[in-house]
Structure 1
Amino acid sequence: MSNILITGGAGFIGSNLALKLINKGHKISVLDNLSVQIHGKNAEIASPLFLSIKDKVNFIKGTVTSKEDWQQAIKGQDVIVHYAAETGTGQSMYEIQKYVDVNINGTAILLDLLANEPHQVKKIVIASSRSIYGEGKYKSKELGYVYPKHRTANYMDDGDFEVKYEGSSALELVATDEESKIHPSSVYGITKQNQEQMIMTVCPTLGIAPVAFRYQNVYGPGQSLKNPYTGILSIFSTQIKNGNSINIFEDGKETRDFVFIDDVVDATILGIEKDEANNEVFNVGTGIPTDVIEVANGLISNYGVEVPINISGNYRLGDIRHNYADLNKIKSKLGFEPKFDFKKGLKRFTEWVETQEVQEDKYMQSIEEMKAKGLFK
């Protein structure tokens, strides 16, 4: 048994992790500010995520930007799983100070306290992100493995969305491993890179074992259906349930590695419980790329609701084209093996959505915000 603090533990991944750790006999504390964007209004009586852990954890309503809240939360903890963060690529490009304050400064406060005040923390697990890789890893016939720079508007305005690399013909997408180049293309990605590097650099000097998980696109029952800024499956589901058309960016052939929530929780628990994870960074995904058109068609098929699919050619600055995880390291060191392929996970997700109240579709509101900032083309 360990005393484990989960920051952001009322969120999607955090609450699922908390419940499984409780079942394994651990004592869980949660520090969370119950963000309205994720939980809606009156979260303490209306948020399914919060209610799933209520009275099962030691809950501290607070923020990682507060030294006092951190001090209260850290007391008596053996392990900290740090999930609390502002998320979403698009939103990060115009709420820059907010993302830096929460993601970077919040982590800095934690490390400053651990460096300067008594505690019993032995391990910290940090939620990193595939976003730190920017564009993924590619193979060039002429140059071998390459890491393309961010795409630019001069190509995408003409409907050419694939990545380019100077001196190379067309590139072949390959899995991104943990030794790949770190070059995020969004403020969100920059903050996750910074979080990871601070934890992995400072913790060993304090006698604390750090573990970083670079999660791919996490989905599953329980994720917020209210948030129009992040979570493509939730955004599309809310559009479908409202009878609205699905707007697909670019040409719909952009891909992501969609990893089911149960697999993410299992991987994280391996990182908490296994000493082999100490001082290591791991990808967490399925190792399989899935394009956005397949996501949209799968959702429509599962819900049995026909809505138009609009492949718009629009794009967001800061979005990547492709990225999927190389899982060799986490498989060999921790014995992790994803149990859910996309078809199986999507079925579980859509069955859960069918039991939920239909949420207001705020997608266009988020698009208008990005348009106003010059980030949506």
Structure 2
Amino acid sequence: MKNILITGGAGFIGSNLSLELINKGYSITVLDNLSTQIHGENPKVTSPLYKSIKDKVTFIEGTVTSRADWEKALKNQDVVVHFAAETGTGQSMYCIEKYTEVNIQGTAIMLDILANTPHQVKKIVIASSRSIYGEGKYIHPELGAIYPGYRNEKDMLEGKFELNYEGSSDLVLVATDEESKIHPSSVYGITKQNQEQMIMTVCPTIGIAPVAFRYQNVYGPGQSLSNPYTGILSIFSTQIRNNNPIQIFEDGKESRDFVFIDDVIQATVLGIEKEEANGHVFNVGTGIPTDVVEVANSLIEAYAINVPVTITGRFRLGDIRHNYADLTKIKTKLGFEPKFTFKEGIKKFSAWVLEQEIQEDKLSKSLDEMVKKGLLK
């Protein structure tokens, strides 16, 4: 399987995967629309992600919402890695039609073509997301494993951010495994769930091996420093380098599993190359939660720029409190082991950031949009 199509292959994860697969001898085709939100206003001139793959891949500038672009891109491909998607959790709550069209309809067009026309595709790898879980997994003292739903707005307005269940505050956070309840709390999460389920359901019926990776919060050199809608490390980095204060939502103790880009690429290559991956869904992360205050302090230390950090108590409706990955399955089936701790990853990420031009801090604009929509309290 030498010919691989990567949709969204000029993006952060896609471009890194493209370069790794080229080094391994694969022939790569990239379908990407060079979104200005990710690549800037003049991407072919200024986007380092695009320039990193330019002339190394067969590049098709197009969109996954176009049947013609899909038909062109799928020709002679053995494997499809489907990364192309709109990715902002908060933004998805008011750009609903756009997220649904790109993420769900784009995937549906691909599958419709593969189900109804001749092709040579043997495997599809879909980029799913930890967002499909919604809140993570907890242990209740009497009930065992439980999966709390939305947090109560009234409680959060009173500064009560931790989860409770049936009046109990004695919940113990544990790692979220692949058998955990799927109950996304954002439109983005819903679209990723839909993508994953379509791929895992349709592909076996048409002779294609499906693989889904539920990526946790991916970061590292190359991610967009100008996109204010996604990527807390890049958002904080841009604020710090502009000497702007960091305002942290809730009480700063909300946590995520931050996974370094090199580990994500390693896992994805295993999914492409190993038959043991076929038909399975895997978490990809570090298996360790890190809270937002630690993220902010780590970046301030790395850049040696002492900006104020304020715990605001504000919150976004639809945000989850905690989630981190159980990696038992991917370690057992694919032999995956994350190589980078958060501390090691931050060191590499911040060193790269310091080599980049300081970007305009656009966070306040994105937050104003959420306030107007009633999503930021």
| TM-score, normalised by the number of residues in structure 2 | 0.99
Matched residue, 1:298: 298
Total equivalences in the alignment = 377
Mapped to 1, the partners of 2:252 and 2:225 lie a distance apart of: 22
- Superposed, 1:300-315 pairs within 5 Å as 300-315=300-315
Kindly indicate whether residue 165 of structure 2 is the aligned counterpart of residue 128 of structure 1. Answer: no
Structure 2 residue matching 1:150: 3-state secondary structure: coil
Query: Counterpart amino acid of 1:178?
Result: E
Query: Counterpart amino acid of 1:342?
Result: F
Matched residue, 2:220: 220
> Is the 1:142–1:169 Cα contact (8 Å) retained in structure 2?
no
Mapped to 2, the partners of 1:233 and 1:167 lie a distance apart of: 35
Q: Deviations over 1:121-163 (max 9, x none)?
A: 0000000000000000000111111000011211100000011
Matched residue, 2:156: 156
Mapped to 1, the partners of 2:339 and 2:220 lie a distance apart of: 13
Mapped to 1, the partners of 2:259 and 2:35 lie a distance apart of: 24
Matched residue, 1:186: 186
> Is the 2:140–2:170 Cα contact (8 Å) retained in structure 1?
yes
Mapped to 2, the partners of 1:192 and 1:343 lie a distance apart of: 29
Kindly indicate whether residue 147 of structure 2 is the aligned counterpart of residue 140 of structure 1. Answer: no
- Superposed, 1:318-357 pairs within 5 Å as 318-357=318-357
Report the identity percentage: 75
Kindly indicate whether residue 81 of structure 2 is the aligned counterpart of residue 84 of structure 1. Answer: no
- Superposed, 1:349-368 pairs within 5 Å as 349-368=349-368
Structure 1 residue matching 2:50: 3-state secondary structure: helix
Matched residue, 1:281: 281
Mapped to 1, the partners of 2:155 and 2:110 lie a distance apart of: 42
Matched residue, 1:3: 3
Query: Counterpart amino acid of 2:252?
Result: G
> Is the 1:177–1:327 Cα contact (8 Å) retained in structure 2?
yes
Kindly indicate whether residue 51 of structure 2 is the aligned counterpart of residue 30 of structure 1. Answer: no
Matched residue, 1:75: 75
> Is the 1:143–1:168 Cα contact (8 Å) retained in structure 2?
no
Mapped to 2, the partners of 1:352 and 1:322 lie a distance apart of: 28
Q: How far does residue 248 in structure 1 lie from its aligned partner after superposition? A: 0.5
Mapped to 2, the partners of 1:352 and 1:23 lie a distance apart of: 22
Q: Deviations over 1:92-149 (max 9, x none)?
A: 0000000000000000000000000110000000000000000000001111110000
Q: How far does residue 167 in structure 1 lie from its aligned partner after superposition? A: 5.0
- Measured at CA, do residues 307 and 167 of structure 1 come closer, stay the same or move farther in structure 2, by a change above 3 Å? closer
Structure 2 residue matching 1:59: 3-state secondary structure: strand
Q: Any stretches of 5+ residues in structure 2 without a counterpart? A: none
Matched residue, 1:96: 96
Structure 2 residue matching 1:89: 3-state secondary structure: coil
Matched residue, 2:371: 371
Q: How far does residue 168 in structure 1 lie from its aligned partner after superposition? A: 3.2
> Is the 1:32–1:84 Cα contact (8 Å) retained in structure 2?
yes
Q: How far does residue 244 in structure 1 lie from its aligned partner after superposition? A: 0.2
Structure 1 residue matching 2:90: 3-state secondary structure: helix
Q: How far does residue 33 in structure 1 lie from its aligned partner after superposition? A: 0.1
Matched residue, 2:53: 53
Matched residue, 2:110: 110
Instruction: Output the aligned Cα RMSD.
Output: 0.6
Matched residue, 1:200: 200
Q: How far does residue 45 in structure 1 lie from its aligned partner after superposition? A: 1.1
> Is the 2:163–2:169 Cα contact (8 Å) retained in structure 1?
no
- Superposed, 1:261-272 pairs within 5 Å as 261-272=261-272
> Is the 1:123–1:209 Cα contact (8 Å) retained in structure 2?
yes
> Is the 1:127–1:213 Cα contact (8 Å) retained in structure 2?
yes
Mapped to 1, the partners of 2:226 and 2:86 lie a distance apart of: 15
Mapped to 2, the partners of 1:29 and 1:163 lie a distance apart of: 45
Mapped to 2, the partners of 1:113 and 1:149 lie a distance apart of: 37
Mapped to 1, the partners of 2:307 and 2:167 lie a distance apart of: 43
Mapped to 2, the partners of 1:364 and 1:228 lie a distance apart of: 9
Q: How far does residue 169 in structure 1 lie from its aligned partner after superposition? A: 3.6
Mapped to 2, the partners of 1:34 and 1:320 lie a distance apart of: 30
Structure 1 residue matching 2:251: 3-state secondary structure: coil
Q: Deviations over 1:17-46 (max 9, x none)?
A: 000000000000000000000000110111
Q: Any stretches of 5+ residues in structure 1 without a counterpart? A: none
Query: Counterpart amino acid of 1:177?
Result: D
Matched residue, 1:231: 231
Matched residue, 1:317: 317
Q: Deviations over 1:55-107 (max 9, x none)?
A: 00000000000000000000000000000000011000000000000000000
Structure 2 residue matching 1:125: 3-state secondary structure: strand
- Superposed, 1:9-28 pairs within 5 Å as 9-28=9-28
> Is the 1:141–1:169 Cα contact (8 Å) retained in structure 2?
no
